[in-house]
Amino acid sequence: MRRAPLLLLLLLRAHAEERWDWPFPGVVHIARSESEPRPVNMHIVKISLGTPGLAFRLTGPGGSRETVRETTLEFARRERAQVAINSHFFVPYPSADRESFLVGLAASNGHVYSDFETPEQSYAIVANAPAINIDHENMASIVRRKEDATLWTAFSGSAQIITDGAPTIPVYAEPPGMQGLLAPGGPMKYGNAKPWYGVPNARTIIGLADRNRALVLFTCDRAGGSQGMRVGEAADLLIRDYSVEQALNMDGGGSVTLVIAGRIVNSSSDNPEGRAVASNLGIFIGP
């Protein structure tokens, strides 16, 4: 299909610069740079779910576990997706093994191959973390465990960090009574005084805006002169400047990769081609 004409718009905010383009029908891409409170480079992609010919596909099941790892760029090229972004956390990691289990709910083309779960790693990932589901008519919603929903393309992250237009960053609590909360500990002895969500890092966030009529993809880098963001900082920005109403924190760090029109647009902190990850979301526009 022919690409829409490239249009550029420069917007200056306090300590921020934005560059807008419209690479495909129904898709706007915003490259944003901030200098305060630290240098950071971001990409925001907003996709109108009412766009004709729009479709979604998640990395499908494969291998002896649930999926086989590949880079987001490899996934985008293999599937011929116009836009692709990394999604689920996965295990085992770190590992040279390409076969992986996904953490949380996953469905592609109506096939559910990973369920809600209580993960072993509980200092960052909440039990039964909510998911975003996009049905076969491109109607999007947040789904939770034990709710009735017809799953089509569904993906989850570590937690829901924006709920009904307000930040909902998880907090730590001593077990028992851990529902929706985090257990303190982990390799850096995380807790409310030093939360995993409070460390500036590369981030991938996927959310909904315009009363669930738009999908929003967000990445920020910790490479190429960018120093990353705290999850709360990213949530506040998405609410304030892009009217995001619901959002999930997806796998971050070296996994963060955003591909548009066959090329990586962010700066990976793993390697120039991006990390091999267990789950990617592909967006398709047109025939």
Q: In this structure, how many other beta carbons lie within 10 angstroms of the beta carbon of residue 26?
A: 19
Residue 269 CA: distances (Å) to CA of 107, 138, 220, 266: 28, 32, 11, 9
120 HSE (CA, 13 A, CB side): 6
In a domain, 3, yes or no: no
Higher-pLDDT residue of 120, 58: 58
Residue 222 CA: distances (Å) to CA of 231, 259, 269: 13, 17, 6
180 pLDDT more than 90: no
pLDDT of residue 174: 73
In a domain, 161, yes or no: yes
In a domain, 79, yes or no: yes
In a domain, 47, yes or no: yes
How far apart CA 122 and CA 100 sit, in angstroms, is: 18
5 HSE (CA, 13 A, CB side): 1
**Per-position b or e across 231-248, b if 16+ CB within 10 A of its CB:** bebbbebbbeebebbbbb
pLDDT of residue 176: 65
pLDDT of residue 286: 79
Collapsing DSSP states into helix, strand and coil, what is residue 72? helix
263 HSE (CA, 13 A, CB side): 3
213 pLDDT more than 70: yes
In a domain, 131, yes or no: yes
In a domain, 1, yes or no: no
Separation of CA 103 from chain center: 13
- Tokens for 152, please give them: 């089509």
Range of the domain at 146: 9-284
9 pLDDT more than 50: no
pLDDT of residue 16: 82
75 pLDDT more than 80: yes
245 pLDDT more than 70: yes
Do residues 124 and 198 make contact, with C-beta atoms less than 8 angstroms apart?
no
Task: Tell me the pTM.
Answer: 0.94
Q: How many domains does the chain have?
A: 1
Specify the amino acid at residue 173.
A
Q: In this structure, how many other beta carbons lie within 10 angstroms of the beta carbon of residue 277?
A: 28
pLDDT of residue 34: 95
pLDDT of residue 8: 46
Collapsing DSSP states into helix, strand and coil, what is residue 78? helix
Tell me the pLDDT tens digit for each residue of 148-179.
899 999 999 999 999 999 999 999 987 666 66
